[in-house]
Amino acid sequence: MRPSILDPLFAPATTLSGVGPKLGKALDKLLGDETRPARVIDLLFHLPTGAVDRRPSASISDAPIGEIATFSARVAEHRPAPPGKAKAPYRIIVEDETGDVTLVFFHADIRHLLQTMPIGEYRIISGKLELWDGMRQMVHPDRIMDAKAFATLPAIEPVYGLTEGIGARVMTRIAAGAAEKCPDLAEWQDSGFHARSGFPSFITAMQALHHPPDLRAVQADTIARRRVGYDELLASQIALALVRRQQKKAAGRVTAGDGAIRRAIEATLPFSLTDGQRKAVADIHDDMEKPERMLRLLQGDVGSGKTVVALMAMAAAAEANRQSVMMAPTEILARQHAERLAPLAQSAGLKLALLTGREKGAGRRQVLEGLANGEIDIAVGTHALFQEGVVFHDLALAVVDEQHRFGVHQRLLLGSKGEAVDVLVMTATPIPRTLSLTWFGDMDISVLSEKPAGRKPIVTRAISSERHDEVVGAVGRAVDAGAQVYWVCPLVQESDTLDVAAAQERFEALREVFGAKVGLLHGQMPGRDKDAAMAAFSTGETRILVSTTVIEVGVDVPNASVMVIEHAERFGLAQLHQLRGRIGRGSAASTCLLLYKGPLGPVAEARLTIMRETEDGFRIAEEDLRLRGEGEVLGTKQSGSPDWRIARPEIDGDLLAAARDDARLLIERDPQLETPRGQAVRTLLYLFERDVAIRLLRAG
Ligand code: ADP
Ligand code: MG
């Protein structure tokens, strides 16, 4: 059981003072997931992505131009818009003995300004200071405060990833509230640790991260972040070590088939398998026939045809009269897999069922019964497949698709659904061997290195968003020629600023041009509407699908040959590659248009260049690591893997190595985590939700 000292952290975010139901909902969207609301700990680990320096300058003339400036000044004059020019801004002049600044307000609430900025009073003003015609001005100051209010604000203000309904000031306040709930936990390191490493304690590190003493304190390589990152790596390494120990003990079962069902399926495929696919199927089959458990990673770039390999593996299980599950990271993908695979399975006499959180009532009961009595051979679904109440008659194989969206802890749960279940993990993310070890433990690896025959290269172009109209024209011509188009907008949920091209808005604008040919798909739509939108695009009823990145993973519509990605500069390289992998699947030539809003930073520019130059997932992954190593600060969500909230194992190699050694030593000395330090380690595992591994310890 989770130690009760952690309870305040695992309580819903709404237990924080000042977080009501409405704010709670917004937080759920940002930090929760399908199965749970946002919790205090999610806020604790939602670290600042930057910081703003609001330390005041001595005077107006000292205030830096072109940056965030903070200064105290006297309100000198209100200048309303001239009569007849209602749209002109409202201006307020503030001054001190060294100079003045014009504050500019568009669509101003004049009554409010008159109230908060009476002439003659002193105010502390903070915002971006600019020169306009040689005069200092500030458009919409971030803060206008009296001295008392100013004293309550941190001088170094952390900047958090935000979402609709949560402004910067609110987020800063509730994150501070979450940091306050952080308990002072017993140290899980040995007594010499602090002196050796120079690391602060966990709680000191957490406080420093949410209350940065200076601008450097929020960067990825500060000692506080490294401490917490190390802790996370340590938790994961200990969990993996426990799992490995267990795996060595637990024997697997022999699953041997005669190949009949596999042959039947292969005969109905509209294509023949590539050599790589054949080899992977053979590897998997060999593993399944052995009395040890299979733990195999199938690695293949997007579009390389991993799904059919999984189907053949599941067919092999069915030949031995045993069941399989295939798990997808999203509802949409699970449904698509089920739809694609059901006819193939059926033609070979297999029964396939879908199980997600949305199957309810009688339908759900039927599936659960079928799984329990063995009538259903293959279950396709989301993590609903893990839930209690899902019982299998004889589960042989679990396939986990698009691994990078799954956490280690979820993977560990798999094993509990059947004795010695064979596990096949499929990922499009090429992972260097050393990393795959730390992410997946001791896995064998099969690689699909060639793409199915007949694919044409994708032409990728980077285009300034100023040429939006031309792009719309080109999309129109492509649609007239019979193509289908994905139009991708950045995630609404993670929008930091208001100018994110929201999918909704784009949808409406494109509807004006193309009418009913345009569909919309985003994560906040109800599940039913998502299905309908996806189905309409699959069948060709809609020709242009405006979406957020929900299409990133796995979706397969071969006729789609054009992709437009808006604000491509905001996406990571791996994400762009995943997205682009949705096209170039049919026989038609494909085009990917990366719309960017300049000016581009050097890293964003390098990303777009690499995307233009290559489609090779391995090269892209390498470049991605290299660019990320060049010091971009990553927020928790950007790291792209739910396994890591703070650590960046691909970059922090030294921390990873240390964590691995420390974990090994720890387990060796205290195999059941029974000593006082062992107890503290248990708390660590709960803290980072690697606690499934604790079940593997001797009870008591
Ligand atoms: P991914 O590896 O990204 O999951 P999929 O399994 O979705 O790729 O396969 C991508 C597309 O390629 C699908 O439309 C699938 O039917 C097709 N495909 C798979 N294997 C072959 C093959 N050997 N020859 C031709 N097409 C194939
Ligand atoms: Mg896939």
At 153-193, the pLDDT tens digits run: 888 989 888 877 788 888 999 999 999 999 999 999 888 88
**In the chain, how many H helices and how many E strands?**
24, 22
The residue with greater pLDDT, 127 or 555, is 127
Write the CB contacts of 182 (distance below 8 Å, at least 6 apart in sequence). 9, 44, 202, 203, 206, 207
**What angle in degrees, to the nearest 10, is found between the helix axes of 676-687 and 653-669?**
140
The pLDDT of residue 666: 93
Measured by CA distance, the residue closest to atom 15 of ligand 1 is: 305
Mutational test site, ligand 1, from 556, 559, 579, max ligand atoms within 8 Å of CB: 556
The pLDDT of residue 530: 84
Judge whether residue 31 has pLDDT over 70: yes
- Mean pLDDT on 643-658: 79
Judge whether residue 290 has pLDDT over 70: yes
- Mean pLDDT on 464-470: 94
SS3 151: helix
Determine what percent of the chain is predicted with pLDDT higher than 90.
51
The pLDDT of residue 495: 43
DSSP labels, 569-586: GGS-HHHHHHHHTTSS-S
The pLDDT of residue 160: 87
Give the helix/strand (H/E) hosting 205: helix 202-210
SS3 361: helix
Give the pLDDT confidence of 56-106 residue by residue, as tens digits.
Answer: 999 999 999 998 999 999 999 999 988 888 778 999 999 999 999 999 998
Amino acid at 122: Y
Q: Take residue 504 and report the two structure tokens written for it.
A: 């909704």
Judge whether residue 144 has pLDDT over 90: yes
**Of 242-251, 454-463, 472-481, which range is least confident?**
242-251
Give the pLDDT confidence of 511-538 residue by residue, as tens digits.
Answer: 999 999 999 988 777 778 888 898 899 9
The pLDDT of residue 46: 92
578/560 Cα distance (integer angstroms) = 15
Ramachandran class of 642: left when φ > 0, alpha when ψ lies in -120 to 50, beta otherwise? alpha
Backbone angles phi, psi at 84, to 5 degrees: 85, -5
Given pLDDT bands bounded at 50, 70 and 90, which one contains residue 451? confident
548/465 Cα distance (integer angstroms) = 17
The pLDDT of residue 403: 58
The pLDDT of residue 241: 82
Q: Are strands 99-105 and 135-139 parallel, antiparallel or unpaired?
A: parallel
The pLDDT of residue 700: 38
**Of 100-114, 389-403, 490-504, 565-579, which range is least confident?**
490-504
**Of 175-184, 230-239, 412-421, which range is least confident?**
412-421
Burial class (CB in 10 A: 0-12, 13-18, 19+), 560: buried
CB 557 within 8 A of CB 478: no
Judge whether residue 695 has pLDDT over 70: yes
Amino acid at 40: V
Given pLDDT bands bounded at 50, 70 and 90, which one contains residue 637? very low
Closest listed residue to residue 158, CA positions, set 18, 26, 53, 13: 53
- Mean pLDDT on 677-692: 91
Using the mean position of ligand 2's atoms as its centre, give its distance from the Cα of residue 498 in Å: 33
Closest listed residue to residue 93, CA positions, set 67, 120, 54, 128: 120
CB 644 within 8 A of CB 61: no
Average predicted confidence (pLDDT) for the chain: 86
| Distances, alpha carbon 434 to alpha carbons 431, 442, 656, 690, 698, in Å | 8, 10, 10, 20, 30
Q: What share of the chain is helix, strand, coil (3-state, %, to 5)?
A: 45, 20, 35
Using the mean position of ligand 1's atoms as its centre, give its distance from the Cα of residue 17 in Å: 51
| Distances, alpha carbon 380 to alpha carbons 307, 357, 419, 536, in Å | 12, 12, 20, 22
Using the mean position of ligand 1's atoms as its centre, give its distance from the Cα of residue 592 in Å: 20
Query: How many beta carbons lie within 10 A of that of residue 36, not counting itself?
Result: 12
CB 23 within 8 A of CB 175: no
Q: Are strands 135-139 and 130-132 parallel, antiparallel or unpaired?
A: antiparallel
CB 595 within 8 A of CB 468: yes
The pLDDT of residue 474: 96
The pLDDT of residue 187: 93
Q: How long a stretch of residues is the chain?
A: 700
The pLDDT of residue 410: 57
Using the mean position of ligand 2's atoms as its centre, give its distance from the Cα of residue 306 in Å: 6
Mutational test site, ligand 1, from 304, 337, 425, max ligand atoms within 8 Å of CB: 304
**What angle in degrees, to the nearest 10, is found between the helix axes of 602-613 and 573-580?**
30
Write the CB contacts of 699 (distance below 8 Å, at least 6 apart in sequence). none
**What angle in degrees, to the nearest 10, is found between the helix axes of 676-687 and 223-249?**
100
SS3 506: helix
Judge whether residue 625 has pLDDT over 50: yes
Ligand 1 proximal residues by C-beta, below 6 Å: 271, 273-274, 277, 300, 302-308, 428, 452, 554, 556, 558, 585
**Of 303-312, 368-377, 522-531, 681-690, which range is least confident?**
522-531
CB 421 within 8 A of CB 398: yes
Judge whether residue 16 has pLDDT over 90: yes
Given pLDDT bands bounded at 50, 70 and 90, which one contains residue 415? low
CB 405 within 8 A of CB 553: yes
Using the mean position of ligand 1's atoms as its centre, give its distance from the Cα of residue 312 in Å: 13
Tokens 């695992």 appear where?
Answer: 10
**Ligand in closest contact with the CA of 556:** 1
Judge whether residue 499 has pLDDT over 50: no
- Mean pLDDT on 589-608: 90
Preceding peptide of 599 cis, ω within 30°: yes
Range among 202-206, 385-389, 521-525, 566-570 rated most confident: 202-206
**Ligand in closest contact with the CA of 404:** 2
Q: Take residue 53 and report the two structure tokens written for it.
A: 């320096």
225/216 Cα distance (integer angstroms) = 11
Given pLDDT bands bounded at 50, 70 and 90, which one contains residue 551? low
637/494 Cα distance (integer angstroms) = 9
Q: Take residue 207 and report the two structure tokens written for it.
A: 């406080």
CB 317 within 8 A of CB 343: no
Mutational test site, ligand 1, from 271, 314, 551, max ligand atoms within 8 Å of CB: 271
Using the mean position of ligand 2's atoms as its centre, give its distance from the Cα of residue 355 in Å: 18
The pLDDT of residue 168: 83
Judge whether residue 636 has pLDDT over 70: no
Closest listed residue to residue 287, CA positions, set 65, 148, 443: 443
| Distances, alpha carbon 590 to alpha carbons 52, 519, 558, 583, 584, in Å | 43, 20, 11, 7, 5
**Of 40-54, 105-119, 473-487, 553-567, which range is least confident?**
553-567
Amino acid at 302: V
The pLDDT of residue 598: 82
Closest listed residue to residue 182, CA positions, set 47, 356, 383, 347: 47
Query: How many beta carbons lie within 10 A of that of residue 267, not counting itself?
Result: 9
pTM, to two decimals: 0.63
Judge whether residue 373 has pLDDT over 90: yes
Judge whether residue 316 has pLDDT over 90: yes
**Ligand in closest contact with the CA of 310:** 1
Using the mean position of ligand 2's atoms as its centre, give its distance from the Cα of residue 316 in Å: 20
The pLDDT of residue 40: 96
